[in-house]
Each structure stands twice: as C-alpha cells, then as structure tokens.
Structure 1
Amino acid sequence: MKLEPAEMTPVINRIKRAQGQLNGILRMLEEGRECEDVVTQVAAVSRALDKAGFAIVSIGLQQALNSPEGMRALDLQRMEKLFLSLA
C-alpha cells in the first residue's frame, strides 16, 4: 500500500527533528560529552522514530479502511506485521 504524501507531513517533520537530534548526538560524541547525556539523547531519538513508525502504520490502516476495496485479509496481515516490527 502506498502512502499519500500529503498525509505524511507530520511524520516527515518528526523524522527531520530526529535527524537533527542524531546530528546533535554525533557532535556530543565528537566533543567527548558525558555518557548519560549522550544516552539520554539516543533514547529520545529512538522514541521519536518509534512514534513516527506507529504514525505511518496508523495512517496506512486508515487509508486501507477508507479505500474503495476496503481492507483485504492480506493487507491486514501485512499491516499487523509492520506494527509488530516496531515493538
């Protein structure tokens, strides 16, 4: 199932913020910052990417349910597999 780009704007923005956080983590490592500070930022990026993944699955499910042919069993299984891959 293809995602509608117009509906992905919030997800794209979240991923761009995470990308900025990753750049910050690289700088922190290069500067020799404290382990706790770096790990805190890594955890924040991880949570942001998890949320982006869940949002993508959610939007995909909404699109499938609103499509003219409805949600086929195969689509449902694929979406469930995607959802579980984020856990």
Structure 2
Amino acid sequence: MKLEKINGEHCSHRRSHHPEHVKKDLITRLNRIEGQIRGVKGMIERDEYCDDVITQIAATQSALNSVAKILLEGHIKGCVVSRLRDGDEEILDELIVTIQKLMRK
C-alpha cells in the first residue's frame, strides 16, 4: 500500500480527509440517524402499529442514503480525482464496486 506524507506524517492512501464542516455535518446526520434507530427499537418494544414502524424505517434508510451520497460525492471529487491524477486507474474499478454496493438497496 502506498504511503504519503500529510502534515509530516505517513498516512495510508486509504484515508479520507474531509473538511471539518463536512465531518461535522456527517456526524450530526449520523447522530440523528442513531436517534431514529433507537426510536424504531422503542416502537417495536411498545408494539406500535407495523405501518408506523415501517414508515420510520424508510425515513431512516433515506437519511442513511443521504449520508452515503455526501460521502460518495466527496470520494469522487477528492480521492478518485487525486488517484487518477497520480495515474492510479485501479480506483475506477473500486468506484464501480462501491456504486454497485449502493445500488443493491
């Protein structure tokens, strides 16, 4: 695995470096999703109506998809472009697999 120096430290090529405002947004979204999951669990524990639980699960899945879209955009604009500039075309195969994983849903 190729190592590069970032801020004077050797780092794996497989690390992401999101701007702080993006990380903060992602963490906020994930905290909200975590709360939604706890809410769904509580609904099941309280034997709430199945359709209401399913509606909340769909909302949670949509929120997770939004996080994935943000990450994918950053990955393409950052990691993929950088590695292509470095002549690493293997990143394209990795990207295709990643998109296929997202499309399985």
TM-score band, normalised by shorter chain: 0.7 to 0.9
Query: Deviation string for 1:58-77 (max 9, x for gaps)?
Result: 11111122x38626311122
Q: Give the structure 2 partner of residue 3 of structure 1.
A: 16
Query: Deviation string for 1:26-66 (max 9, x for gaps)?
Result: 1111111111110000011111112211211111111122x
- Give the aligned length: 86
Q: Does 1 or 2 have the higher relative contact order (CA < 8 Å, sep 6+)?
A: 1
Structure 2 residues without counterparts, runs of 5 or longer: 1-13
Q: Percent identity?
A: 23
Structure (1 or 2) with the larger CA radius of gyration: 2
Relative to total residues, which structure has the larger helix share, 1 or 2? 1
- Preserved contact between residue 18 and residue 49 of structure 1 (Cα < 8 Å): yes
TM-score by length of 2: 0.71
Supply the RMSD in Å over aligned alpha carbons.
1.9
Structure 1 residues without counterparts, runs of 5 or longer: none
TM-score by length of 1: 0.83
| Dislocated runs of 4+, deviation >3 Å | none
Relative to total residues, which structure has the larger strand share, 1 or 2? 2
- Preserved contact between residue 57 and residue 79 of structure 1 (Cα < 8 Å): no
Q: Please tell me whether residue 76 in structure 1 is matched to residue 92 in structure 2.
A: yes
